[in-house]
C-alpha cells in the first residue's frame, strides 16, 4: 500500500517533470522560431570621406619596390601579394618566379600552399555546424573523437577538452609547429592512434593559450564525424564553392603545372627543392593551396562582417558568427611593443577562432594569420574598421612573405586613412538639443521628459542647478554647439562654444524603451589668451 506522503511526493515529482518539459518546449520554440525584433532606425558605421582606393593606388609603385627589395634581401624565389578594399582587389602583383628551373614568373593566379592560413576555414566550418544546431562549442571533443577518452590529463581537476578549447588553442596541447608541419600527409589512423596512446599535455585545458596544429587536426575529425563526409569535401562544398573559390585546392596534384608554385629552402647560398607534402589527416591545420586572386574572395567575406547592420545575409556563415570568429580569447598584453613610428605602444593580442587578433595603443585593430610549411611562407592581415585586407604568399621555407612593418607605415603613418565612424543616433541627437535647453532653463516639464529617475537621486536638483549655473557664469554667453561624437547608440560627448571658451558635455542614456539622461557631466575649458 502506498502512503499518502509517497503519493504526494509522486504527484510533486510528476508536476516538476511536466513543468520542466513545458519550459524546455517553450525555450526551444522561442529560440528557433520567433522572428528577431530589430530597430529600423539603427545607423551603421560609415566612411565619412572615403578616399581609401585612391590612397592605396597611389602607393602601388612604392609597395612594389618594397617587395622587390625584400625578395632580394631575403633570398625568396617568388612572392605574390594583394591589397583588398571591401570586396575589390585594388592592388595586386608579383615578383620573382614560381619555379626556378623553368623561370616561370610568379603571378596573382599562381597557386601557393598557404599552410596554417587553412585554420580559419576549419574554424568557420565548426561555427557553421554550431549555427545549424549540429554541435555545441561546449561539447566535449571526445564525444566526436572517442579516442580522446583515453587522454591522461595533468591534474584531477582538469576540465575535459571541449570543441571551443580546440578552436582557441586552449586544449592544453604543447606548441607543435616544427613537428606538426611534417604530419600533414599522415593518415587518420595515425592521428587517432596518437590520441589513443595518450597525447602529452603542457597545460590543463582552459588554462592558457598555446598554439596547436594537433588541435586543429582534431577539429577536422570532428567535422567529418558530424557531417559524415571527409573534412576536405565539406570545406570545398560548403565554404569554397559558395565563395567562388574555384582555384583553391587540397592536393598539389590537382593544380595545373603552369600555376603550381614550387617550394624551396635557402641553404649553402643556393636554393634547394623542398618536397611537396600530400594532404592528409592534418589538412585541417594547413592543407590548402590557393592564389592571391582566389584568397581575396575569402578575405572579402571576413571583412563583410563589419559593420553590424540589417542587410540581407550573404555567404556560408552569418555575419555575427564571422565577428565571433574575430573576437580574441585569452588576451595577453605586450607592454614593450612599439608602433609603426617606432614609439612605445602597448598592444593586446589574443586568438579567436582560427584568427589572431591585435589592438594597439592607437586603437588600430588588425586580424591576421600566418602560414608556414616546408617550402612556403604566407600571411594575411585585415583591418575591419578600415575595410582593408593585405595578403602575401612566398615560396621559401618558414619565411615571412613581406616587409609588413614598412607597408603598415605607408598606410597609417604617411596617409590620411581614417576608419569608419558611427553616425549619431536619432535619440542621441534629440537628447543633445534637449540637454542644451535644460541647462539654460531648468524647465520642469522638460526635466520630466528627458531625465531618468536616478538623476536627482544621485545629486539633488538644487546642487546640479547650482553647479551648472556656476559654469555658465564662467563660460559667458552661449554661441553655438559642436557636432556630437557618439560612443555608441546611447552615449556621446559634444562641446558648446561660449564667449569665454567651451563647455564640454558628456551624457549617457538609460536602457529604457524611451531612453532618458541618466548621467550628465559638464566641465568648462577657458579659451587661451592670445598675446
For residue 354, what pLDDT is reported? 98
- 212 exposure class (CB count in 10 Å sphere: 0-12, 13-18, 19+): buried
pLDDT over 90 percentage in the chain: 88
Q: Phi first, then psi: what are they for 394, rounded to 5°?
A: -140, 170
Task: Check the CA dihedral 451-456-462-466 and report its sign.
Answer: negative
pLDDT per residue over 14-72, tens digit each? 444 444 444 444 434 445 568 899 999 999 999 999 999 999 999 999 999 999 999 99
pLDDT per residue over 428-444, tens digit each? 999 999 999 999 999 99
**pLDDT over threshold 80, residue 291:** yes
How far, in Å, CA of 406 to CA of 433, rounded?
46
**Which set of grid coordinates corresponds to residue 113?**
600552399
* Three-class DSSP category at 287: coil
DSSP 39-61: -SS----B-TT--HHHHHHHTHH
Average pLDDT of the residues of the chain? 93
DSSP 65-111: HHHHHHHHHHT-SEEEEEEEETTEEEEEEEEEEEETTTTEEP-TT-B
DSSP assignment letter at 237: I
As a whole number, mean pLDDT of residues 240-262 equals 97
Q: How many residues does the chain have?
A: 531
Q: What is the enclosing helix (H) or strand (E) of 445?
A: helix 444-450
As a whole number, mean pLDDT of residues 342-351 equals 93
pLDDT category, 341, cuts 50, 70, 90?
A: confident
For residue 178, what pLDDT is reported? 85
Quick one: which of 327, 335, 320, 393 has its CA closest to 357?
A: 327
pLDDT over 70 percentage in the chain: 93
Residue with the three cell numbers 627543392:
273
For residue 13, what pLDDT is reported? 47
pLDDT per residue over 133-165, tens digit each? 999 999 999 999 999 998 999 999 999 999 999
Where do the domains of the chain lie?
1-34, 426-526
**pLDDT over threshold 50, residue 6:** no
Question: Angle 164-166-170 (CA atoms, 0-180°, nearest 5)?
Answer: 85
For residue 339, what pLDDT is reported? 84
How far, in Å, CA of 409 to CA of 341, rounded?
7
Q: Which has more confidence, 106 or 338?
A: 106
**pLDDT over threshold 60, residue 477:** yes
Give the residue ranges of DSSP H helices in 112-263.
119-131, 163-167, 177-181, 188-196, 213-227, 231-235
For residue 529, what pLDDT is reported? 62
Give the residue ranges of DSSP H helices in 451-512.
455-458, 461-475
> Domain spanning 426-526 has what CATH number?
3.10.450
pLDDT per residue over 191-237, tens digit each? 999 999 999 999 999 999 999 999 999 999 999 999 999 999 999 99
How far, in Å, CA of 201 to CA of 100, rounded?
42
How far, in Å, CA of 233 to CA of 424, rounded?
46
- 343 exposure class (CB count in 10 Å sphere: 0-12, 13-18, 19+): exposed
As a whole number, mean pLDDT of residues 273-291 equals 95
For residue 493, what pLDDT is reported? 98
**pLDDT over threshold 90, residue 499:** yes
Contact in structure between 527 and 500 (CB atoms under 8 Å) = yes
How far, in Å, CA of 275 to CA of 288, rounded?
16
How far, in Å, CA of 172 to CA of 215, rounded?
9
pLDDT per residue over 374-395, tens digit each? 999 999 999 999 999 999 999 9
Contact in structure between 368 and 303 (CB atoms under 8 Å) = no
- 191 exposure class (CB count in 10 Å sphere: 0-12, 13-18, 19+): buried
Quick one: which of 164, 155, 172 has its CA closest to 214?
A: 172
Contacts of 368 (CB under 8 A, 6+ apart): 355, 356, 358, 379, 380, 381, 382
Q: Phi first, then psi: what are they for 492, rounded to 5°?
A: -170, 175
Quick one: which of 338, 347, 395, 345 has its CA closest to 368?
A: 347
How far, in Å, CA of 92 to CA of 96, rounded?
14
For residue 34, what pLDDT is reported? 81
For residue 1, what pLDDT is reported? 41
Half-sphere exposure of 432 (CA within 13 A, CB side): 24
Contact in structure between 83 and 389 (CB atoms under 8 Å) = yes
For residue 68, what pLDDT is reported? 98
Amino acid at each position: 500500500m502506498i502512503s499518502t506522503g509517497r503519493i504526494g511526493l509522486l504527484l510533486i515529482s510528476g508536476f516538476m517533470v511536466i513543468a520542466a518539459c513545458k519550459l524546455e518546449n517553450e525555450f526551444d520554440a522561442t529560440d528557433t522560431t520567433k522572428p528577431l525584433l530589430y530597430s529600423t532606425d539603427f545607423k551603421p558605421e560609415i566612411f565619412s570621406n572615403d578616399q581609401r582606393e585612391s590612397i592605396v593606388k597611389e602607393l602601388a609603385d612604392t609597395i612594389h619596390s618594397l617587395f622587390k627589395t625584400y625578395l632580394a634581401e631575403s633570398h625568396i624565389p617568388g612572392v605574390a601579394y594583394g591589397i583588398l578594399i571591401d570586396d575589390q582587389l585594388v592592388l595586386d602583383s608579383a615578383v620573382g618566379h614560381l619555379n626556378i628551373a623553368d623561370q616561370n614568373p610568379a603571378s596573382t593566379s599562381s597557386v601557393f600552399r598557404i599552410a596554417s592560413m587553412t585554420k580559419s576555414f576549419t574554424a568557420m566550418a565548426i561555427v557553421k555546424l554550431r549555427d545549424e544546431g549540429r554541435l555545441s562549442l561546449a561539447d566535449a571533443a571526445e564525444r566526436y573523437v572517442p579516442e580522446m577518452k583515453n587522454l591522461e590529463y595533468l591534474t584531477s581537476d582538469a576540465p575535459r577538452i571541449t570543441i571551443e578549447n580546440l578552436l582557441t588553442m586552449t586544449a592544453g596541447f604543447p606548441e607543435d609547429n616544427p613537428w606538426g608541419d611534417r604530419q600533414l600527409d599522415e593518415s587518420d589512423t595515425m592521428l587517432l592512434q596518437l590520441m589513443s596512446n595518450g597525447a602529452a599535455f603542457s597545460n590543463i585545458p582552459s588554462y592558457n593559450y598555446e598554439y596547436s596544429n594537433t588541435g586543429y587536426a582534431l577539429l577536422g575529425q570532428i567535422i567529418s564525424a558530424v557531417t559524415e563526409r571527409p573534412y576536405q569535401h565539406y570545406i570545398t562544398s560548403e565554404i569554397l564553392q559558395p565563395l567562388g573559390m574555384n582555384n583553391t585546392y587540397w592536393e598539389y596534384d590537382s593544380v595545373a603545372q603552369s600555376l603550381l608554385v614550387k617550394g624551396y629552402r635557402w641553404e649553402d647560398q643556393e636554393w634547394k627543392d623542398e618536397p611537396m607534402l600530400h594532404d592528409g589527416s592534418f589538412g585541417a591545420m594547413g592543407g590548402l593551396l590557393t592564389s592571391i586572386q582566389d584568397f581575396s574572395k575569402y578575405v572579402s567575406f571576413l571583412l563583410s562582417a563589419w559593420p553590424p547592420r540589417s542587410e540581407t545575409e550573404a555567404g556560408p556563415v552569418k555575419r555575427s558568427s564571422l565577428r565571433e570568429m574575430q573576437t580574441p580569447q585569452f588576451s595577453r598584453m605586450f607592454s614593450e611593443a612599439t608602433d609603426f613610428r617606432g614609439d612605445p605602444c602597448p598592444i593586446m593580442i589574443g586568438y579567436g577562432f582560427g584568427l589572431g587578433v591585435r589592438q594597439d595603443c592607437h586603437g588600430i585593430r588588425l586580424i591576421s594569420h600566418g602560414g608556414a610549411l616546408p617550402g612556403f611562407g604566407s600571411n594575411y592581415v585585415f583591418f575591419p574598421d578600415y575595410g582593408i585586407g593585405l595578403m602575401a604568399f612566398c615560396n621559401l621555407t618558414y619565411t615571412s612573405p613581406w616587409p609588413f612593418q614598412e607597408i603598415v607605415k605607408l598606410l597609417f603613418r604617411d596617409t590620411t586613412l581614417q576608419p569608419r565612424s558611427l553616425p549619431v543616433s536619432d535619440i542621441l541627437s534629440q537628447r543633445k538639443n534637449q540637454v542644451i535647453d535644460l541647462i539654460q532653463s531648468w524647465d520642469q516639464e522638460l526635466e520630466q521628459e528627458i531625465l531618468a529617475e536616478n538623476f536627482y537621486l544621485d545629486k539633488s536638483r538644487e546642487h546640479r542647478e547650482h553647479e551648472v549655473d556656476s559654469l555658465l557664469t564662467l563660460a559667458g554667453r552661449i554661441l553655438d554647439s559642436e557636432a556630437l561624437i557618439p560612443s555608441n547608440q546611447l552615449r556621446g560627448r559634444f562641446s558648446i562654444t561660449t564667449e569665454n571658451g567651451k563647455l564640454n558635455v558628456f551624457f549617457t542614456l538609460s536602457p529604457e524603451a524611451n531612453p532618458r539622461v541618466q548621467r550628465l557631466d559638464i566641465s568648462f575649458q577657458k579659451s587661451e589668451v592670445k598675446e
